[in-house]
Amino acid sequence: MEHRLRLRCAPGLLLSLSLGGAAQAQIAVATPISAEVEAGHARLLASPLLKQVLAGLQADDARALADLKVLTEIPAPPFKERARAEAFLALLRAHGLPEAAMDGEGNVIGLRKGSGQGPLLVVSAHLDTVFPEGTDVTVKERDGRLYAPGISDDTRGLAVLISWLEVLNKNQVQTVGDLMFVGDVGEEELGNLRGMKALFRDHPQIDGLVGLEPGEGNGVITVGTGSHRYEVLFHGPGGHSFMAFGLPSAIHAMGRAIAKIGDVRTPSEPKTTFTVGTVSGGTSVNTIAGEARMAVDIRSNAMPMLLEAEEKIMVAVAAGAAEENQRWDSDKISVQTRLIGDRPAGNTPARSIIVQAALRSIAASGKTPLLMSASTDANLPMSLGIPAIILGSGGKTGGFHARDEWFDPRGAWEGAQTALTTVLALVGVQGISEPMLARRTPRP
C-alpha cells in the first residue's frame, strides 16, 4: 500500500486525530446509515451463526499467525511474486478451494460459490512487497511485536483471507453471493496495479471489491489517490568542461526544468501533489553533461486535477530545455518523457451501500469509523465505477516500507472479524440475510 494521505471522520462523528506529529484535524462528516443497511445488519448481527463465525476467527488466530510467518519469509519483490503466489495458492487449495489457480498475470484466484443469484464480491490482498531481492525477510520477535519487511503490508492481509476461508468452511457458512478470494500482484512501486487491471479485464462480472491492507479495523479507504510517474531524459552534445565550453548541458537543462516544476501550483482540495524524486546524469566533474535523467511523481485524489498538474509539469520540462538551448544559442538539447507509473484515481461515495456496510460493521465493533484516502488496489475498480473499499486486516502495525516494519498480533483478530462482518453483509448469508451489494449486470 502506498501511504495513506487523508483521514476524515464518519459517520457524523467528531474526531481529533494526530498523524505522526502533524497538526490535529477535527472534521465532521455526516453519513447517515440507510434503513436498508441497518435492517440487514440487525439480522446478521443477531444470528447465532455469525457469533459462531466471529468466535471461530478468534480461535483461529494462532494458526493464522503461523501462516503469516511462513508467507512473510517467502520473498515477493515487485514483478517477482511467484514463489509467494505458489505458497498462497497451496493454502487456498488446502483450505477448501481445490480449483484455485494462478492467472496469466500471476494473480492467485479461488472462487467460493454462493447459493444462488447473488453478487460476485472480490476479497483481496496483494502478494508483492516493496523490498528488493536479497532482503532479509526473517521474522524476528521483540516485546510482543513481530518484525520483518512486508509483514503487515500486505502479508497480514493474505493470512486473514486464509483464516476467513478456514472459518467459513468449518462453520459451513453458505453465502448467497459468490466470494472470489484473490492474492494479486503489482500493487507496489511500478507494478501499476497490473494484477487488478488483469483481474477486472478478465472478470467483467465482478460486482465489488473489499481489499485488505494494514490497519486495526476502523478505517475505510474510499478515495483512490491516482498517480502518474515519468522518467524524463535530457540529451545534449556533451564535451570537455573547458575545451568545449559554450555547449548546452543536459544537467543544466534538467536543473532549469526542476526549478520551474518547483513553481507549479496545485490545489489543496482535491489534494494534488508532485515531486522530482530522483536525478542522475553526467560523466565526470569536468564534463559538460551529455545526458541527465529525473523521475517525477504526480498525484491527486481526482483525475482532472492530476492531468492538469501533469500538463503544467510537462510545460516546465520543455521550458527548461528551451532556456538552456537559448542560453547557448543552440538547438542541441532534446527531451524524452516516458510514462513509468499509471494509477487511475477514483472514489466510492460515502453513501454507497458498500461503504455504509463497512461503517455499520465498524460501529458494531465499538470503534470509531474513519474515511480515508490512499493509493491501493481499489483505485482500479473505483476508476471503473465498481464499488470498492479497503479495510484494515487487524492488529497494530508500523514501519511500512521499512526494513523494521512490524506487526503486533495482540487482539488482531478483532479487525479480521469486522472486515468479515462487512463481507457477509454484502454477499448475504443463506437463511439469515439478503445481499446488500447489488449485481451490476444480469447473468444467466
* pLDDT score at 442: 74
Is the Cβ–Cβ distance between 53 and 420 less than 8 Å? yes
Q: Does residue 29 surpass a pLDDT of 50? A: no
Q: What is the mean pLDDT of residues 98-108?
A: 98
* pLDDT score at 400: 87
Neighbours of 258 (CB within 10 A): 17
Q: Model confidence over 313-341: pLDDT tens digits? A: 999 999 999 999 999 999 999 999 999 99
* pLDDT score at 444: 64
Q: Model confidence over 219-242: pLDDT tens digits? A: 999 999 999 999 999 999 999 999
Q: What is the mean pLDDT of residues 342-354?
A: 95
* pLDDT score at 10: 40
Q: How confident is the model at residue 16 (pLDDT cuts 50, 70, 90)?
A: very low
Q: How confident is the model at residue 441 (pLDDT cuts 50, 70, 90)?
A: confident
- pTM of the entire predicted model: 0.91
* pLDDT score at 2: 57
Q: What is the mean pLDDT of residues 122-151?
A: 97
* pLDDT score at 38: 93
* pLDDT score at 17: 31
Quote the CA–CA distance of 100 and 422 in Å, as a whole number: 23
Q: What is the mean pLDDT of residues 155-179?
A: 98
Residues of the chain with pLDDT > 70, as a percent, come to 93
Q: Does residue 192 surpass a pLDDT of 70? A: yes
Cα-based angle 49, 51, 55 (whole degrees, multiple of 5): 115
Q: What is the mean pLDDT of residues 280-292?
A: 98
Which CATH code of 3.30.1060.10, 3.40.50.2300, 3.40.630.10, 3.30.110.70 fits the domain covering 2-224+345-427? 3.40.630.10
Q: What is the mean pLDDT of residues 212-223?
A: 96
Peptide bond into 270 cis (omega under 30): yes
* pLDDT score at 157: 98
Average pLDDT of the chain to the nearest whole number:
92
Q: What is the mean pLDDT of residues 421-436?
A: 97
Is the Cβ–Cβ distance between 218 and 358 less than 8 Å? no
Return the H-helix or E-strand segment holding 169: helix 156-170
Q: Does residue 26 surpass a pLDDT of 80? A: no
Task: Give CATH for domain 226-343.
Answer: 3.30.70.360
Q: What is the mean pLDDT of residues 414-439?
A: 97
What is the four-CA torsion angle of 250, 256, 257, 260, rounded to 10 degrees?
A: 180
Q: Does residue 83 surpass a pLDDT of 90? A: yes
Question: Biggest alpha carbon distance in the chain?
Answer: 86
At a CB cut-off of 8 Å and minimum separation 6, what does 249 contact?
236, 288, 289, 324
Lowest average pLDDT, out of 10-14, 46-50, 212-216, goes to: 10-14
Quote the CA–CA distance of 55 and 358 in Å, as a whole number: 19
Quote the CA–CA distance of 210 and 219 in Å, as a whole number: 13
Q: How confident is the model at residue 413 (pLDDT cuts 50, 70, 90)?
A: very high
Domains 2-224+345-427 and 226-343 share a fold: no
Sorted by where each begins, the domain ranges of the chain are 2-224+345-427, 226-343
Quote the CA–CA distance of 280 and 123 in Å, as a whole number: 41
Q: How confident is the model at residue 167 (pLDDT cuts 50, 70, 90)?
A: very high
Peptide bond into 60 cis (omega under 30): no
Quote the CA–CA distance of 66 and 409 in Å, as a whole number: 11
Quote the CA–CA distance of 244 and 158 in Å, as a whole number: 59
